[in-house]
């Protein structure tokens, strides 16, 4: 039974979002419910357990489908490839106690809100469901379930100020609180007995408990201010932020004043962030659209700490509650950990298929058992018991645990190396990684920057470069003032805090920040302003200090920041810094040097980070607080270029070389300038000196819906006018030569990437195949890029700082955050040391864990099959293994091997190929099948040959030992042996029905055979260290072999009696050891010479013309035959129809972070 979307029965929840779901309405039917309860009782709870695993079956059995409006049960289905179902009960929330008369109905502020549209009349109830900690209510007008706990997106900037500026009334607040639920991120601590399933809950509980219940001050409409506990907050409440440190219990929009916030606990960035109030723009655009990408500059996020507030002329610093509970940025982060995206890894899928095969194998054994025992006239109960016994033997119950042990030990080894993992199932996936995306700043290069020089500009000409490495200080002037004031630095805990670039720039002036001054401005009240003054080491300046009156913080969309500053007793001035190209566009053309582009290229091509500086004087009489950003950042005077050096980390080049040698692709994804990124990629070894770089540029055609794309060779000219884009025939011939051998790399900007994704979708896979440098990428574009690589069947790793890369870290198969901050909980892996050396380490351990999983799987499959074959052979004689024999094999042999086999560590060198990713691969299946045949042959040989021995007797189990004791009188010996046998057990159960020569032979052969396959399957190189390095495992094998050989050769009556063994001649025991030795030799030779013989399998692939089915491999083969690719110096135009990807440029992104890289 499936789902057919009928009218009103079906809808979509969270349409267009990452957690999009389909929702179906159902109504419980009484007689169906009664039948199901009866089924639960009659099946002893088995049916209930089945329904727990399959919630859709539960709903289909208990309910009939109906419209969502009538539903009391809803069935949810994810829209991803997994199509996972979940069942939710529709609950009713009563608000009648709060609404006693019409006047109590939600007021004007509520008329267009979901709160008023969800209250059913006259019952005054709200229908709701809770999905993954988020509450949804039924909108009776829109006829759909809508999320509550967040302010609606349709409000304009002016509406937020007008409707919520003075706060909600008590009644409005109470109604919203009942409908939304408490403002808490509640992560219950799982009891100890459940910790194996939910290991992350304690860490998450600590992460959220600090801000779940704090005291806050809110504005009450017409009722003044009120102190209340934060869990009572609702969307629309107006918070008053007081001076001093404040922990934020919700997401809120700042509507007056300014805040400096420490977001490190959420973003991983230690730099304090400046937040400005929402403008009172009078237009019809929703506030997020009006603010575009800069809306985050007005939002205070839950879990972050306000460290400083600055009031404006309105007196109070106020913020409107935007989102509460799990709807907040932090709540979303916690939910992404509590409900991770399912992993579709072939290993686990294949393991399930293999288990199905073992079950089918067991079914054959059951039929054989029933036939044998039934034909021999055994009782029905005994036949059923023996048949079920076969299932438990053929299907190893310890298989899932065995597959997990390798991961647990790997996780422990990683922890010792400073790499922490919150998603252990991804460890195996690390073994398959073949492409790693690296952020640049702080990942490949040092986090801090060093000032290298300043290239000042006067009268549209660049002057002599000023070097900061020399002792002479920078002379006073507009450039000096720009460096002293154009930043967002603060003094926090006695230290200057802020962006590392800003800190270096400000420190070069030798000025100091006086952050305690109040400043009186004409027409305004007293406000908290930042004043910078000359420090003790500063060169003489003609001013006492400069006051920073107003800031326009850095914006990734605009790629710049500006300040309005005033010298003591002087006029107000604007200073702007940012990406040189952007700053130059805002300047008057006559102030920008004619050789601006060539000079910029000269420094960026050498890997320097270049910042543009500009300024202008403000007209007197204009109040800085009332000027718009557009007015301020126009008609500027270009001041020059600030050149900063961003050095590679010491370990970057060796790590990238190691990855390259292992044939793992490295890609740079950065927010920096494209020339700087290309140079760093060359210096780091991502692009070798002989390889060519092709710049891919895509642009929208003004006045139309189409776009163009060009491919230009990025050539470096060594003359003064450095780095022009060559297109002469000689260059093209040289590049074509390089392209012929595949030695070329594409470089593109985030803007070009987005246009290609929209207008040239068919070209994107081809570009990604050789794309190495992606510059000026926004956080959303980084996530999108990782997903596009995954669509090409790459296994993608992402290594970044855990903040602006948060989305990409989550989307990648293995995200590695180089951050110790709590934000790293969003990433599956976190490295304590901020070094990319953790990447090859993780791949090594991932490969070792994957190979260990395969070894364990093969061993568990063989162990159960060996035991299964032995039991079926003995069933032929209506015999079986004894209880102690089963116990010895299961506990003393297999359990100990299962625990210790996984101790083997990773091989220190990365091999230039990956381990197989699936169990259903020819070498692995051949290995299992051949070893099963070897085991079957040996056991069958022993079973048949023992019956041909002259001393063999089917009835007398002591005949073998009698035949070698001719000096003993027959009568006395038989009598004494008989009495001895009876002394060990009652006459009727002397051998428990198990003792026989066949049992002894088959059991000893199968037990030692388990040790043989454990040894043969414990492979070392190239992915794991040699077996002898796993001392515990080797000692265990030696100990187990010693015990087994002791059981073979010892002739101790009491021991043999307990183990259901019988005495055999010494020559037969030696024969068994020879059989085992031959099996070991054959098995070992086959495993090494055939199964692990990589050249042989490559030859077979070539002979049978087998090609990889991976999308990127197929594309590579196609492009190798295409002599026209890439089309150098050609322009392509798109059709007028574009694919809209604006709203979905990535998976999970960290809403609190805006990368400062994008500006520079």
Residues with catalytic annotation? 439
Range list of β-strands (E), 829-884: 829-831
Helix, strand, coil percentages (3-state) for the chain, rounded to 5, are 45, 20, 35
Within 13 Å and on the Cβ side, how many CA atoms surround 686? 30
Integer angstrom CA distances of residue 855 from 402, 431, 924, 1007, 1139: 10, 14, 9, 18, 47
As a whole number of angstroms, the distance between CA 951 and CA 958 comes to 9
- Is the peptide bond prior to 1126 cis by the omega test (within 30 degrees of 0)? yes
The residue among 503, 801, 475 whose CA lies nearest residue 644 is 503
What Rg value do the Cα atoms of the chain yield, rounded? 37
Torsional sign, CA 32, 35, 41, 43: negative
Measure CA 253 to chain center.
29
Count of residues in the chain: 1160
- Residue 538 burial by Cβ neighbours in a 10 Å radius (0-12, 13-18, 19+): middle
As a whole number of angstroms, the distance between CA 853 and CA 859 comes to 10
Torsional sign, CA 404, 406, 407, 411: positive
The residue among 735, 754, 652, 756 whose CA lies nearest residue 693 is 735
As a whole number of angstroms, the distance between CA 532 and CA 544 comes to 9
As a whole number of angstroms, the distance between CA 126 and CA 100 comes to 16
As a whole number of angstroms, the distance between CA 241 and CA 5 comes to 49
As a whole number of angstroms, the distance between CA 231 and CA 251 comes to 13
As a whole number of angstroms, the distance between CA 184 and CA 208 comes to 9
Structure token pair of residue 1071: 């024969």
Structure token pair of residue 360: 């089918």
Torsional sign, CA 498, 499, 505, 507: positive
Buried b (16+ CB within 10 A) or exposed e, 424-456: bbbbbbbbbbbbbbbbbbbbbbbeebebbbbbb
Q: How many CB atoms lie within 10 A of CB 990?
A: 16
Cα dihedral 43/49/52/56 (nearest 10) = -40
For residue 737, give the 3-state DSSP assignment: helix
For residue 319, give the 3-state DSSP assignment: strand
Kind of pairing, strands 814-817 and 744-749?
A: unpaired
- Give first-to-last CA distance, the chain, whole Å: 57
Integer angstrom CA distances of residue 638 from 673, 689, 1055: 19, 36, 96
Range list of β-strands (E), 789-828: 796-800, 814-817
As a whole number of angstroms, the distance between CA 956 and CA 1021 comes to 51
As a whole number of angstroms, the distance between CA 44 and CA 336 comes to 36
Edge-to-edge strand ranges of the sheet holding 91-94: 91-94, 125-131, 134-139, 144-147
Integer angstrom CA distances of residue 239 from 156, 316, 1064: 19, 10, 88
Within 13 Å and on the Cβ side, how many CA atoms surround 1146? 25
């Amino acid at each position: 039974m499936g789902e057919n979307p009928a009218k009103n029965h079906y809808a979509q929840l969270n349409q267009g979002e990452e957690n999009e779901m389909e929702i179906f309405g159902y109504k419980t039917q009484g007689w169906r419910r009664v039948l199901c309860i009866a089924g639960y009782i009659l099946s002893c709870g088995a049916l209930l357990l089945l329904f727990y695993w399959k919630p859709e079956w539960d709903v289909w059995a208990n309910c009939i489908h109906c419209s969502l409006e009538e539903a009391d049960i809803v069935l949810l289905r994810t829209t991803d490839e997994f199509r996972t179902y979940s069942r939710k009960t529709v609950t009713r929330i009563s608000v009648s106690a709060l609404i006693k008369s019409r006047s109590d109905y939600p007021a004007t502020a509520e008329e267009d809100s979901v709160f008023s549209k969800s209250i059913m009349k006259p019952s005054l109830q709200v229908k709701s469901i809770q999905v993954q900690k988020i509450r949804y209510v039924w909108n009776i007008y829109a006829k759909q379930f809508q999320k509550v706990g967040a302010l609606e997106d349709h409000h304009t900037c002016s509406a937020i100020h007008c409707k919520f500026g003075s706060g909600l009334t008590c009644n409005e607040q109470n109604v919203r609180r009942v409908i939304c639920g408490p403002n808490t991120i509640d992560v219950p601590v799982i009891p100890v007995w459940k910790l194996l399933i939910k290991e992350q809950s304690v860490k998450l509980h600590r992460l959220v408990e600090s801000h779940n219940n704090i005291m806050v001050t809110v504005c009450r409409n017409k009722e003044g201010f009120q102190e209340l506990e934060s869990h009572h907050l609702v969307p629309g409440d107006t918070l008053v932020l007081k001076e001093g440190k404040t922990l934020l219990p919700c997401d809120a929009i700042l509507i007056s004043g300014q805040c400096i916030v420490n977001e490190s606990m959420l973003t991983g960035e230690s730099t304090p962030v400046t937040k400005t109030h929402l403008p009172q723009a009078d237009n019809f655009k929703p506030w997020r659209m009006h603010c575009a990408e800069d809306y985050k500059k007005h939002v205070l996020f839950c879990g972050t700490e306000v460290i400083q507030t600055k009031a404006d002329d309105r007196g109070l610093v106020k913020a409107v509650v935007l989102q509460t509970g799990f709807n907040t940025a932090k709540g979303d982060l916690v939910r992404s950990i509590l409900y991770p995206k399912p992993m579709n890894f072939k290993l686990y899928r294949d393991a399930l298929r293999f288990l199905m095969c073992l079950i089918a194998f067991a079914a054959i054994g059951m039929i054989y058992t029933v036939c044998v025992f039934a034909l021999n006239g055994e009782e029905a109960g005994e036949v059923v018991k023996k048949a079920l016994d076969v299932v438990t033997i053929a299907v190893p119950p310890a298989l899932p645990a065995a597959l997990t042990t390798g991961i647990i030990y790997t996780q422990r080894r990683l922890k010792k190396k400073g790499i922490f993992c919150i998603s252990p199932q991804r460890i195996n996936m690390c073994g398959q990684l073949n492409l790693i995306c690296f952020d640049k700043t702080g990942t490949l290069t040092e986090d801090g920057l060093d000032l290298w020089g300043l290239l000042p500009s006067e009268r549209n000409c660049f002057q002599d470069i000023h070097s900061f490495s020399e002792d002479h200080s920078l002379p006073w002037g507009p450039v000096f003032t720009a460096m002293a004031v154009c930043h967002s630095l603060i003094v926090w805990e006695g230290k200057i805090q802020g962006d590392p670039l800003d800190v270096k720039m400000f420190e070069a002036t030798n000025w100091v920040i006086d952050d305690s001054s109040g400043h009186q401005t004409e027409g305004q009240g007293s406000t908290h302003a930042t004043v910078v003054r000359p420090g003790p080491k500063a060169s003489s300046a003609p001013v006492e200090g400069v006051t920073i009156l107003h800031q326009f913080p850095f914006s990734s969309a605009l790629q710049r920041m500006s300040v309005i500053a005033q010298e003591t007793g002087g006029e107000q001035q604007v200073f702007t810094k940012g990406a040189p190209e952007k700053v130059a566009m805002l300047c008057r053309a006559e102030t920008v040097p004619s050789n601006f582009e060539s000079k910029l290229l000269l420094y960026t091509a050498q890997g320097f980070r270049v910042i543009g500086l500009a300024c202008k004087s403000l007209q007197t009489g204009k109040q800085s607080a009332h000027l718009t950003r557009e007015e301020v950042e126009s008609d500027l005077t270009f001041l020059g270029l600030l050149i900063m050096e961003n050095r590679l980390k010491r370990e970057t080049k060796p790590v990238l070389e190691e990855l390259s040698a292992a044939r793992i692709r490295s890609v740079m994804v950065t927010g920096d300038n494209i020339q700087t990124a290309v140079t760093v990629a060359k210096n780091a070894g991502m692009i070798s000196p002989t390889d060519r770089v092709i710049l891919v540029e895509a642009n929208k055609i003004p006045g139309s819906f189409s776009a163009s794309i060009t491919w230009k060779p990025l050539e470096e000219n060594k003359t003064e006018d450095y780095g022009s884009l060559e297109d002469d025939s000689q260059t093209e011939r040289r590049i074509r030569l390089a392209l012929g051998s595949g030695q070329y790399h594409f470089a593109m900007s985030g803007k070009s990437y987005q246009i290609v994704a929209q207008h040239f979708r068919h070209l994107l896979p081809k570009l990604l195949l050789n794309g190495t440098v992606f510059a000026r990428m926004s956080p959303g574009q980084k996530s999108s890029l990782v997903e596009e690589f995954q669509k090409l069947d790459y296994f993608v790793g992402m290594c970044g700082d855990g903040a602006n890369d948060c989305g990409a870290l989550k989307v990648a198969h293995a995200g590695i955050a180089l951050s110790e901050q709590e934000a790293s909980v969003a990433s599956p892996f976190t490295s304590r040391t901020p070094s990319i050396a953790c990447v090859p380490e993780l791949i090594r351990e991932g490969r070792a864990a994957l190979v260990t999983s395969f070894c364990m799987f093969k061993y568990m499959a063989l162990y159960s099959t060996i035991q299964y074959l032995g039991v079926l052979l003995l069933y032929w004689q209506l015999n079986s293994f004894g209880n102690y024999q089963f116990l010895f094999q299961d506990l003393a042999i297999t359990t100990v091997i299962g625990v210790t086999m996984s101790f083997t560590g990773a091989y220190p060198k990365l091999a230039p190929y990956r381990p197989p990713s699936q169990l259903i691969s020819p070498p692995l299946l051949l290995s299992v099948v051949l070893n099963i045949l070897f085991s079957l042959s040996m056991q069958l040989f022993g079973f048949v040959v023992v019956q041909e021995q002259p001393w063999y007797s089917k009835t007398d189990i002591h005949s073998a030992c009698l035949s070698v004791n001719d000096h003993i009188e027959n009568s006395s010996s038989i009598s004494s042996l008989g009495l001895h046998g009876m002394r060990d057990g009652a006459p009727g159960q002397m051998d428990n029905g198990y003792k026989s020569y066949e049992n002894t032979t088959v059991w000893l052969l199968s037990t030692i055979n388990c040790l043989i396959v454990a040894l043969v399957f414990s492979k070392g190189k190239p992915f794991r260290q040699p077996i002898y390095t796993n001392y515990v495992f080797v000692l265990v094998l030696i100990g187990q072999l010693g015990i087994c050989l002791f059981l073979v050769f010892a002739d101790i009556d009491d021991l043999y009696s307990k183990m259901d063994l019988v005495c055999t001649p010494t020559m037969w025991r030696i024969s068994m050891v020879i059989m085992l030795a031959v099996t070991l030799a054959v098995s070992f030779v086959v495993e090494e010479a055939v199964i692990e013989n990589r050249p042989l399998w490559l030859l077979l692939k070539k002979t049978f013309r087998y090609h990889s089915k991976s999308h990127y491999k197929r594309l590579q083969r196609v492009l190798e035959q295409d002599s026209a690719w890439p089309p150098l110096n050609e322009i392509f135009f798109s059709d007028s129809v574009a694919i809209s990807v604006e709203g979905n440029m990535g998976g999970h992104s960290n809403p609190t972070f805006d990368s400062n890289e994008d500006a520079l």
